[in-house]
């Protein structure tokens, strides 16, 4: 009798193992063929050669929309500017959202690639600027389209609604908010989960990186105006010099992170721009500062912003600024993004799927970074949508290994004029990872 029970238990365990293996196999993404990959690399090159600035991504969006419509998606354009929402309904099941960003940066490309961008345009301030996909958004879009193609080809293996969104103005931290304000989750289905990828300038091709919990920082743009009493540079005692006060303010702001924030809590206060004065011998009336402020939680963010206001005000008062000329500190609500939170329960599902698709050694835990991403906003709505963004390695192994040697020059970072991803293997990995994520979430 005992032998019979043990035999039945063994058969049951075997049946369960086989069922789980079959389910895992059904969720595995179909591999790209080389002709399919050739087509996506061509798609990437076309995007890379024709970048558009934030909120001007009309032609970029149209290119992706045309592709998605040809695959059978129902596409709504002009959501939050040049954003779009593409839906593919495939029976009853969860709604899975995949997101790509569309915009380039005002950077003159210096990579020397044969397909380098030579685009120039006029920015919002009327200046002539070069434009480049210096943050890998062209890799994102090509992987996004590749995943759409593979998921359409695999419709018999999943059920649900595939929701693919193209988001404008990520680089200005404003595109996600614009789409949400335009009814993204009221006009269209509320997804059960949302996933995105981002190119990484420090990981090898063939690998992806992930962080459970907080993964990217909140991002605030702060404008400070310090008003003084101008006059002749030869009679400084008859003025209140805003240049001197600005210099003192810049130094005093550095005490926030070093003396007010817990040393174990990541925080950044960077003064990126300072402008004031007109002539050697003139003490001007005002100086303007521009800051970027980063943190990984809401409490630290409030501490940083409150401290900036306090230090700016009291530095000016100590220097004798008249009461009617006290400085102003303006925190941009348009360009603010909260810290990006990767839902750990989502990671528990996605990480095994990625290991199966890419190999366990190619799925790497990475620490949080102080860069910002407005993808965070999709997880901060009242709908409480679990979100997850992951990194895709873009540096070919030879370049990567060379950069690790003692004395070697560091790899160009994202937003650098010299950053270039290796497109073929970056896209191959991006497509596999996005497709594996979607298949897992549908199952």
Is there a domain that residue 25 lies in? Answer: no
Question: At 274, which helix (H) or strand (E)?
Answer: strand 267-276
Are 344 and 320 members of one domain? no
Which phi and psi angles does 124 have, rounded to 5°? -65, -20
Are 80 and 192 members of one domain? yes
Is there a domain that residue 166 lies in? Answer: yes
Is there a domain that residue 6 lies in? Answer: no
Q: Is 103 a catalytic residue?
A: yes
pLDDT of residue 64: 98
Are 46 and 144 members of one domain? yes
Is there a domain that residue 21 lies in? Answer: no
Two tokens at 370?
Answer: 């102080």
Q: Which of 331, 358, 379 is the last residue of a domain?
A: 331
Are 174 and 111 members of one domain? yes
Interhelix angle for 2-27 vs 423-442, to 10°? 130
pLDDT of residue 334: 82
Cα-based distances in Å from 63 to 50, 69, 82, 137, 306? 11, 10, 12, 14, 44
Residue 163's nearest CA partner among 104, 103, 102, 83 is: 83
Is there a domain that residue 360 lies in? Answer: yes
- Could you say which of 170, 286, 335, 425 is catalytic? 170
What is the domain count for the chain? 2
Q: Give the pairing of strands 387-395 and 193-204.
A: parallel
Is there a domain that residue 111 lies in? Answer: yes
Q: DSSP per residue over 185-249, as a string? A: HHHSPPPSEEEEEEEEEEEETT-EEE-SEEEE-EEEEEEEEEE-B-EETT-GGGSB-HHHHHHHH
Give the span between the Cα atoms of 217 and 213, in whole angstroms: 11
Are 43 and 169 members of one domain? yes
Are 277 and 425 members of one domain? no
Are 314 and 432 members of one domain? no
Could you read off the pLDDT tens digit of each residue along the chain, which spans 443 residues?
Answer: 444 445 555 555 555 444 444 444 444 556 899 999 999 999 999 999 999 999 999 999 999 999 999 999 999 999 999 999 999 999 999 999 999 999 999 999 999 999 999 999 999 989 999 999 999 999 999 999 999 999 999 999 999 999 999 999 999 999 999 999 999 999 999 999 999 999 999 999 999 999 999 999 999 999 999 999 999 999 999 999 999 999 999 999 999 999 999 999 999 999 999 999 999 999 999 999 999 999 999 999 999 999 999 999 999 999 999 999 999 999 998 889 999 999 999 999 999 999 999 999 999 999 999 999 999 999 999 999 999 999 999 999 999 999 999 999 999 999 999 999 999 999 999 999 999 999 999 98
Answer whether 202's CB lies under 8 Å from 283's CB: no
Structure-token match 């075997």, residue found: 14
* Contacts of 34 by beta carbon, 8 Å cutoff, 6+ apart: none
Two tokens at 78?
Answer: 């002009």
Are 64 and 193 members of one domain? yes
Query: How far is C-alpha 73 from the chain's CA centre?
Result: 25
> What CATH number has the domain bearing residue 277?
3.30.70.360
Are 166 and 62 members of one domain? yes
Using one digit for the tens of pLDDT, what is the confidence trace for 272-321? Answer: 999 999 999 999 999 999 999 999 999 999 999 999 999 999 999 999 99
Q: b or e along 315-325 (b: 16 or more beta carbons within 10 Å of the residue's beta carbon)?
A: bbeebebeeeb
How many angstroms separate the first and last alpha carbons of the chain?
Answer: 39
Cα-based distances in Å from 116 to 107, 130, 203? 12, 11, 22
Q: Which of 304, 331, 358 is the last residue of a domain?
A: 331
* Contacts of 1 by beta carbon, 8 Å cutoff, 6+ apart: none
- Could you say which of 67, 103, 286, 425 is catalytic? 103
Could you tell me where the DSSP H helices lie in 280-421?
Answer: 298-318, 344-358, 397-404
Are 194 and 76 members of one domain? yes
Domain, as residue range, for 167: 30-217+339-442
Are 101 and 205 members of one domain? yes
Residue 112, helix vs strand vs coil:
coil
Are 67 and 210 members of one domain? yes
Is there a domain that residue 44 lies in? Answer: yes
Give the span between the Cα atoms of 199 and 136, in whole angstroms: 5
Give the span between the Cα atoms of 288 and 281, in whole angstroms: 19
pLDDT of residue 30: 66
Give the span between the Cα atoms of 334 and 175, in whole angstroms: 10
> Sheet containing 328-331: which strands, arranged edge to edge?
267-276, 286-295, 218-227, 328-331
- DSSP 8-state code for residue 135: T
Q: Which of 310, 331, 352 is the last residue of a domain?
A: 331
> Sheet containing 208-210: which strands, arranged edge to edge?
74-79, 83-90, 160-167, 95-101, 193-204, 387-395, 208-210, 363-365
> What CATH number has the domain bearing residue 82?
3.40.630.10
């Amino acid at each position: 009798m005992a032998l019979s029970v043990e035999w039945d238990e063994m058969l049951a365990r075997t049946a369960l193992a086989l069922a789980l293996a079959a389910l895992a196999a059904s969720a595995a993404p179909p591999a790209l063929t080389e002709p399919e990959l050739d087509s996506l690399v061509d798609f990437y090159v076309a995007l890379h050669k024709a970048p558009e600035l934030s909120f001007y991504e009309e032609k970029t969006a149209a290119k992706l929309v045309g592709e998605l419509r040809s695959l059978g998606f129902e596409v709504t354009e002009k959501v939050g500017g040049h954003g779009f929402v593409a839906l593919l309904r495939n029976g009853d099941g969860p709604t899975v959202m995949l997101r790509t960003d569309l915009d380039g940066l005002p950077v003159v490309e210096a990579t020397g690639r044969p397909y380098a961008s030579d685009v120039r345009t006029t920015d919002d301030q009327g200046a002539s600027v070069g434009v480049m996909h210096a943050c890998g958004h062209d890799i994102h879009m090509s992987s996004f389209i590749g995943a759409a193609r593979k998921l359409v080809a695999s419709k018999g293996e999943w059920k649900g609604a595939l929701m693919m969104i193209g988001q404008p103005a990520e680089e200005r931290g404003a595109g996600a908010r614009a789409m949400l304000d335009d009814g993204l989750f009221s006009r269209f289905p509320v997804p059960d989960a949302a996933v995105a990828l981002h190119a990484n300038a420090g990981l090898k091709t063939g690998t992806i990186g992930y962080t459970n919990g907080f993964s990217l920082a909140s991002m605030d743009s702060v404008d400070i105006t310090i008003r003084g009493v101008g006059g002749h540079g030869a009679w400084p005692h008859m003025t209140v010099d805003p240049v001197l006060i600005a210099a003192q303010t810049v130094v005093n702001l550095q005490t926030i992170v070093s003396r007010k924030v817990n040393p174990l809590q990541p925080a950044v206060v960077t003064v990126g721009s300072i402008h004031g004065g007109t002539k050697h011998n003139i003490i001007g009336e005002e100086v303007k500062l521009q800051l970027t402020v980063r943190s990984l939680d809401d409490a630290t963010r409030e501490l940083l912003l409150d401290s900036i206001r306090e230090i700016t005000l009291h530095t000016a008062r100590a220097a004798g600024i008249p009461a009617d000329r006290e400085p102003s500190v303006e925190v941009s609500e348009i360009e603010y993004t909260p810290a990006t939170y990767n839902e750990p329960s989502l990671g528990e599902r996605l990480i095994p799927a990625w290991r199966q698709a890419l190999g366990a050694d190619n799925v790497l835990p990475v620490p949080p970074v102080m860069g910002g991403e407005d993808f965070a906003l999709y997880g901060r709505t009242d709908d409480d949508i679990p979100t997850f963004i992951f990194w895709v390695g873009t540096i070919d192994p030879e370049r990567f290994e060379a950069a690790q040697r003692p004395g070697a020059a560091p790899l160009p970072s994202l937003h650098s004029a010299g950053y270039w991803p290796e497109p073929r293997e970056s896209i191959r990995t991006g497509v596999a990872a996005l497709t594996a994520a979607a298949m897992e979430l549908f199952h």
